[in-house]
A and B are shown apart, each in its own frame.
Chain A
Amino acid sequence: MSKPVKTILAYVLLTALALTMLLPFLWMVLASFKSLAEVEKLNPFPTIWHPENYLSVFQQVPFARYYFNSVFVASWVTFLTCLTSAMAAFAFARLRWPGRDKVFQLYLATMMIPGVVTMIPNYTLMVKLQLLDSYAGLIIPAAFSAFGTFLMRQFMLTVPSALDEAAEMDGASPWQIFWDVILPMARPGLITLAIFTFMGNYGSFFWPLILIKSEHLRTLPIGMLFFDTVYGRQTNLIMAASVMNIIPLIVIFVVSQKFLVQGIQMGAVKG
């Protein structure tokens, strides 16, 4: 196959797949501008556009507050997870110490345990620590990720050992190697982990549902849930809320794209 044919084929495939991904969202956006009665009709575009649907969402529930809470909690969790996971992963991937593999296997083992198993013990713990119905109760238990440690370790394993060996020869301390050698090399991994963590917590559903009692601490998914049950079956408004729900994620993803591309350029491990 010649190069141009291959390129065209690739584009056709990519476009077809992209459309498959996009159409449900398109439907969602269009539904968010329809009247309730029109949502069930098959016409793709609303006959009359109802941008005021978006306004109604804010009128019916404190949506801005949900926004802030979700972003705030997810940001803290992301920061803490990245930091603690990267540090631990460094110790697991680049340092040798007695018991290392045993501890790592313990991490691995707990990753497989269904979350519902730890829920009651954890809830009781939150009460004992007086963290119920607080931001801290949402942030702290989520900040120590076995998954993140595993992920970062995988990434750090792919960094050539020549790098830190050289640094060590030059008399660098483990901290210097961590901050200045390994972490920059593991940047694609770090960004990936940051995106995972942020998304996971932004959409987290079960833990906030049982932990949060006050309306002013509700996060978006919980807010959406109550919005849905309270204001009945206003599919158009729910879709409007969903659209607003994903906008911050799109922004964050588009911003982090730049870093991802950077990671691709420099991550090709030339050294």
Chain B
Amino acid sequence: MKAVFTGAFVILLLLSAMAWSILPKPVEAGKTQIIWASDDNPARRGQIDGFNKIATDAHVSLDPNNTGLQKVVVQSLAGVGPDVFDSGDGTLNVLIDADLAWDVTDELKKRGVDIEKDSWKAIQTYCVREGRVYGIPSNAAANALFINKTIFDQQGIPYPNGPWKWSEFLPIAQKMTIRDDKGRATQFGLLIDWWLWPQFVIQWGGRIYSEDGTKCVIDSPEAIAGIQFLHDLIYKYKVMPSPVEEAAMATQGGWGSGTITQFGEGQKAAMAMGGRWWLCTLRNKKQFPDLKMTVCEAPYFNRRVFYGYGRATFINKASPRREDALKFLLYMAGPNYNALINKQADALAPIIKYCYKPEVLFDPEFPEEDKNQVWLDAMRYAEPTPTSPFVNYQAAQRILTRQLDLVKNDQKLVPDALRDAAREVNAEIQKTIARNPSLKAKYDAILAKRPVATL
């Protein structure tokens, strides 16, 4: 037995020597290493290379992070967070409150970057609060309709053109939905990722939170009507797959962004609502050899607005390499990065002026994408997801998602679900301010200012 353990130990020592010898050497001497926590994908790699090629004294490497803020928060708590990190929807309050994001308002201003003026409005809630800038948007997205040309051609229907209304959309979508004699759909008119539901709330004139954020108003008649329409697309007009039908279409094991593949592969859907970033996947001719597509503006109800979203990039306040990290942020505000984002179709570039360029409107490398103006228009009419500073985004999201899941599965009436959602989110707001005295002071101040009549 002793021999077995000794032998194992010797082998492990040898393995360790090997492990040590194949550790990569530091990339380039004399450069400050900056760690960027973001999701790892081919587009991101290109964006990093773009910086490393031109930066003389800093080198960015990626810390792949796809688990939301969790890793960044825990690492920062331990004092070793990344220097630069990305964050998504609704997290700004947390970033500021947890003291994670460096307030770069003055630094950027000194260098002539004005995020509030230069970048898309819809994405600014991700990184600007009360006039202070904490980061810069890394890309910006708003949805349009992808059109499968082959299906339209087969049925002899001209490709639609926006702006148009849902009422104009419905008859076309119904014609495009084909079912076999068993009632099983072989082709759908429309695919929508369910998480885009806020678009229907805002198009019908509703809001998730009241303007001052003190109250969840997802149970307003407008919001109910919007979500009802989304529900009806599945269960009344039947132009969209139910969760069951959707799972049936999904590539085995695919989930989340499976909608892209569902649209791209075969002839399963005539139209799909998605962002320009879908192109990162759909451009792959090897994966989608038969796909012929174009785009058109998404339909609207009574307000021509679209749900805007994206990512923003922040500097870790505790990073000892803040100054070098700032160079990376400036790169993201500059022409090279913005041109690259537009070229990669990683949604749209964050800085508006770099989007209105001839090579963005028509890229000869991708002649099929001949209607890029649609993306610019969608972005121009985009509105951000309203969040409330008085409730944790994730906590509220869990409540809303549960109720909307029930709606999606047709297990609960829309008004009931949204009323319960509003009630629960409002209870969560009360819980949150009870925990947090400074928030409560702010909340009370707003209520005091508000005229009694509107209550």
Interface residue ranges, A against B (CB under 8 Å): 31, 36-37, 39-40, 68, 72, 75-76, 79, 82-83, 120, 123-124, 126-127, 132, 135, 179-180, 183-184, 187, 209-210, 213-216, 225-226, 229-230, 232-233, 235, 238-239
Contact = CB atoms under 8 A, between A and B. Distances in A.
Given A40-B252, A79-B9, A127-B79, A215 B74 contact: no
B78 A132 contact: yes
19 contacts: A37-B251, A39-B252, A68-B22, A124-B77, A126-B78, A127-B79, A180-B1, A184-B1, A209-B71, A210-B70, A210-B75, A213-B75, A215-B62, A216-B24, A229-B39, A229-B66, A233-B255, A233-B256, A233-B258
A234 to B, nearest CB: 8
B253 A39 contact: yes
B266 A123 contact: no
B15 interface: yes
Given A37-B266, A72-B15, A83-B5, A210 B74 contact: yes
Interface in B36-82: 39-42, 62-64, 66-67, 70-71, 74-75, 77-80, 82
Contact of A213 (B35, B39, B254): B35
A1 to B, nearest CB: 43
B281 interface: yes
Contacts of A232: 257, 260-261, 281
Given A40-B251, A210-B74, A233 B257 contact: yes
Contacts of B251: 36-37, 39-40, 233, 235
Given A37-B265, A40-B252, 9 more contacts: A36-B287, A39-B253, A40-B251, A76-B16, A127-B80, A184-B1, A209-B71, A229-B66, A235-B254
A235 B179 CA distance: 27
A159 B260 CA distance: 61
Nearest to A76: B12
Interface in B256-301: 256-258, 260-261, 265-266, 281, 287
A22 to B, nearest CB: 19
B19 interface: yes
Q: Which of A72, A232, A235 has the most CB of B within 10 A?
A: A232
B41 A238 contact: no
A82 B287 CA distance: 48
Contacts of A37: 251, 265-266
Contacts of A82: 5
Nearest to B44: A230
Contacts of B40: 226, 229-230
A183 B78 contact: no
Closest 8 A/B residue pairs (Cβ): A233-B254, A127-B78, A235-B253, A183-B1, A39-B252, A213-B63, A40-B252, A229-B66
Contacts of A213: 35, 63, 75, 82
B23 interface: yes
B64 to A, nearest CB: 5
A126 B281 CA distance: 39
B2 interface: yes
A87 to B, nearest CB: 11
A76 B15 CA distance: 10
B446 interface: no
B264 to A, nearest CB: 10
A225 B64 CA distance: 11
Q: Which of A36, A124, A216 has the most CB of B within 10 A?
A: A36
A36 B286 CA distance: 11
B8 interface: yes
Contacts of A216: 23-24
Contacts of A79: 5, 8-9, 12
Nearest to B254: A233
Given A232-B281, A233-B254, A235-B251, A123 B1 contact: no
Nearest to B2: A179
B80 A215 contact: no
Q: Which of B22, B62, B64, B66 has the most CB of A within 10 A?
A: B64
Contacts of B77: 120, 123-124
Contacts of A72: 15-16, 19
A75 B15 contact: yes
B252 A215 contact: no
Q: Which of B5, B35, B250, B258 has the most CB of A within 10 A?
A: B5
Contacts of B250: 40
Contacts of A31: 252
A235 to B, nearest CB: 4
A120 B66 contact: no
A102 to B, nearest CB: 29
A41 B253 CA distance: 12
Contacts of A229: 39-41, 66
Nearest to A181: B1
B23 to A, nearest CB: 7
Nearest to A185: B1
A189 to B, nearest CB: 12
Nearest to B266: A37
A31 B254 CA distance: 13
A187 B80 CA distance: 43
B19 A135 contact: yes
A233 B253 contact: yes
Contacts of A225: 66
